[in-house]
Structure 1
Amino acid sequence: MGLQEDFDAAAKEATEKLPDSVTNDEKLELYALFKQANEGDCSTSQPGIFDPKGRAKWNAWNKKKGMSKEEAMQKYVEFVASLKAKHGTK
């Protein structure tokens, strides 16, 4: 399979097979890598202080600035695989 197919398969596994025991930090990393792979660098303004969830997601994504889409896809595939191993999913 090519990188795009691997990425699509990992995204499907992340939404359908990862358990609830995935931590918030792990979820933020998944989100940030997914957004970077699909949209590139964060181009929206930072959410306000009264939106802590949006702000955390924005901060996680913005930390990936400068990472290529291909690198983000590869890191996403690898991160999903590590979460599957860590949390015991197949």
Structure 2
Amino acid sequence: MSQAKFDKAVTIVQGLPKDGPIKPSQSDQLFFYSHYKQATIGDVNIPRPGLMDFTGKAKWDAWKKVEGVSKEDAMKLYVDKLLEVLGKVDDEESKKYIAEIEAA
């Protein structure tokens, strides 16, 4: 997996409008978060958030689940998941994003 494809995929995910036609599920969002962290930082390096921080705990738990995954594998899984999400929408915008990733 090239760094360029991963970087393009990250840009796309971070730029998706909340009210747009491409809506990753909460599970997909946690997948993107955990694999992004694993690809850019590596294994979890912070303590688990406290009891009242439900979002923080969900993110931490998702990241912890991918502990040990290599940077390269995390980048590939991230890009593959985005291509899967985009493929389900099958509109002009998603086709444009797929082409941008493949060209990177």
TM-score in terms of structure 2 length: 0.78
Q: Any residues of structure 2 matched to 1:64-75 within 5 Å, and which? A: 64-75=66-77
Q: Corresponding residue for 1:13? A: 12
Deviation for aligned residue 1:15: 1.7
Q: Corresponding residue for 1:46? A: 48
Q: Corresponding residue for 1:26? A: 28
Aligned counterpart in structure 1 of residue 57 of structure 2, from 35, 55, 66: 55
CA distance in 2, matches of 1:33, 1:42: 11
Is the partner of 2:51 in helix, strand or coil?
coil
CA distance in 1, matches of 2:47, 2:40: 18
Q: Percent identity?
A: 35
Moved beyond 6 Å, runs of 4+:
none
CA distance in 1, matches of 2:51, 2:73: 31
> Which one is further off, 18-27 or 67-76?
18-27
Higher relative contact order (CA 8 A, sep 6+): 1
Deviations 1:7-66 (Å, cap 9, x if unpaired)? 001111112247463211110000000000000000110011100000000000010000
CA radius of gyration, larger in: 2
How many residue pairs end up in the alignment?
89
Q: Which runs of 5+ in 2 are unaligned?
A: 96-104
Q: Which runs of 5+ in 1 are unaligned?
A: none
CA RMSD of the aligned region, Å?
1.6
